[in-house]
Structure 1
């Protein structure tokens, strides 16, 4: 079977996360989105574990996988996937002597290297790899030129691309030749524009269980990655973090990485960083489907300030009532049937499916935008 999986979210115990991020909200949100698998996020946090435990046997048809994120002593973030919470309990015990926030922060800082953390993760039988690997803050390629530069002799089981990259950004990097790529939302809110905004379509043999899902990830049995156009990400292009003026790498170097307009830091974009690291012919990868959340499409067509306006929500809810879930609407629902509900949305989805999109790249911390041809 094919299962849509979002394996990286956060809890209210992490910074800047909605107080609505609780299992009783998240599981229905998955059904609306069209997800069959959800990572818990923040599984090292004992209180967050307790919130999830009543839902593990009554997960409303959603396969729940314990997942978490850790920041190492060089500020690199790591994504961890496990079969059960017991493995995260063991990991917490192993990491506790090197962390002051292991029991209080959903995404704790641990005073160990990436290699040392990966050793301990593998010791408890879990999977690990860099989170949002290309992002110019708190990421593998923000601070290292190679996987070994961070993880030493320890192997990685996966690599999360992040919102500002797609598979093409990593396909030409020799270090990543045999590493499965993941695309996850990193959601801080259960709103449909956030949860599942990036997801993995995983081909699962047998029952949909955490063990089977982890086996699929570790063997690269991923049928498709889906998510943003990379240009929509906040850090796709090299840009000033104050005024968001974009620069070529050459111009940024010439200005010593300081914006001549306001003196702000110029941060290297994911697009330029990936080009620096790529060598030779890109390796073959599963197809990557570029999507825009349905709420964002409705917002754009209606010309309003937010997908959360009353009008947008009413249109969105009518779509879900008719078709069942958002992913099916975006990918496979007949355009003629979409048109019955909203001709403008039908035209927009047709343009997206046919790649008739003009992208206005983001950078420096400002999301990119799109317009339709």
Structure 2
């Protein structure tokens, strides 16, 4: 078996608020720098984007390119679709023609069908499907549905994407998810290394092909998930959307979901939602989830500068890539002693991340969480 790092959910310039630099050349170069061997195309229901990718399906970088796309259903729930070939997305587009305003106007189309019907169409063409960023409080399965059956009816799901708001622990105790592989992807709107691959999966594949990648997901050969601390998310804790005061769930219920301080709406946090869904069940074993932060962000913090794009930060980043080959190697695999030879403070931060000794200040109500390293 061959371990590969895969990021299977990104977007194209045909989606809203996406960088115009999200082009195949830049994305493939970004994968090499990041350490991603498998990349989803994103937005594969868009006919022009499919044509844009065709010359790059076989590429000098050796990146396995997987046709992928995200859709929004009639309840505004988002779904991630993975296929072996662009022709399957063309067939899927034909099956769903007339159910959205136009597949040519947006990379992530709003389909006026239920999740069950979309999943049935996806399976009919041989594609895989599962809920995208399932725990976020907006446009997700667990935001708008009581569970898998409520969202997909009798149609099975092939995986569940955790999203930036959750790690494996949030789903491990939910009984209906037992046996369903968890995916972690970047949902990147920019090819910069602080976005592309900021969350990724390590898969064991029999061969480095699109079929090999999809078979690994079908067979549950996800050997590691990597991504942010959920506490960094804007809606991790139950909190007021106006003043960001955080509340225990029972207190929020007692206040009728209105902040007593300013009358703002109290938004249920992802952490509390996951506990509700577990029903008190014991967590089931899952592959390891490794919490990471983008290397540029670590350098920025350790250097005390305003941005990872300062001249000094970029020079340090380039030194790390030159020494270790790619960013994921630095964050997860390289010995701390070797990292220390390049930058002692960054080595201390990565050691703290690996040991789980950072201090987290959870976000809530729309305000990002913060952390301190060391």
Tell me the TM-score normalised to structure 1 length.
0.97
The match for 2:167 is 166
Partners in 2 of 1:180 and 1:145 — Cα distance? 19
> Equivalences for 1:195-344 in 2 at 5 Å?
195-205=196-206, 207-279=207-279, 280-344=281-345
* CA shift in 2, pair 1:202/1:247, >3 Å: same
Partners in 2 of 1:61 and 1:264 — Cα distance? 51
The match for 1:352 is 353
Contact 1:27/1:59 (<8 A) preserved: no
The match for 2:32 is 31
Residues 7-54 of structure 1, C-alpha deviations (whole Å, 9 max, x = no match): 001111111111111111100100111110000111101111111111
Residues 81-135 of structure 1, C-alpha deviations (whole Å, 9 max, x = no match): 0001000000111112111132211110000000010000001100000000010
Partners in 2 of 1:343 and 1:47 — Cα distance? 47
Deviation, 1:308, is 1.7
The match for 2:64 is 63
Partners in 1 of 2:313 and 2:256 — Cα distance? 44
Partners in 1 of 2:335 and 2:175 — Cα distance? 40
The match for 1:107 is 108
Partners in 2 of 1:363 and 1:312 — Cα distance? 30
Contact 1:297/1:348 (<8 A) preserved: yes
Deviation, 1:251, is 2.4
Q: 2:201 aligns to what SS in structure 1? A: strand
The match for 1:147 is 148
Partners in 1 of 2:36 and 2:295 — Cα distance? 15
Partners in 2 of 1:43 and 1:262 — Cα distance? 44
Tell me the TM-score normalised to structure 2 length.
0.97
Q: 2:371 aligns to what SS in structure 1? A: strand
RMSD across aligned positions (CA): 1.2
Contact 1:13/1:106 (<8 A) preserved: yes
Partners in 1 of 2:266 and 2:301 — Cα distance? 30
Q: 1:91 aligns to what SS in structure 2? A: helix
Partners in 1 of 2:242 and 2:194 — Cα distance? 26
Q: 1:96 aligns to what SS in structure 2? A: coil
Partners in 2 of 1:242 and 1:308 — Cα distance? 31
Deviation, 1:293, is 1.2
Is 2:166 the counterpart of 1:179? Answer: no
Of 305-314 and 281-290, deviating more is 305-314
* CA shift in 2, pair 1:329/1:161, >3 Å: same
Partners in 1 of 2:251 and 2:304 — Cα distance? 35
> Equivalences for 1:120-135 in 2 at 5 Å?
120-135=121-136
Q: 2:122 aligns to what SS in structure 1? A: helix
Is 2:99 the counterpart of 1:98? Answer: yes
Residues 133-169 of structure 1, C-alpha deviations (whole Å, 9 max, x = no match): 0100000000111100010000000000011111111
Is 2:227 the counterpart of 1:188? Answer: no
Of 247-256 and 7-16, deviating more is 247-256
Q: 2:120 aligns to what SS in structure 1? A: helix
> Equivalences for 1:11-90 in 2 at 5 Å?
11-58=12-59, 60-90=61-91
The match for 1:3 is 4
Partners in 1 of 2:88 and 2:366 — Cα distance? 35
Deviation, 1:271, is 0.3
Gaps of 5+ in 1: none
The match for 2:368 is 367
Deviation, 1:59, is 5.2
Partners in 1 of 2:311 and 2:175 — Cα distance? 48
Contact 1:161/1:182 (<8 A) preserved: yes
Q: 2:97 aligns to what SS in structure 1? A: helix
Aligned length: 372
Residues 163-208 of structure 1, C-alpha deviations (whole Å, 9 max, x = no match): 1111111011111011110000111111111111110000011x21
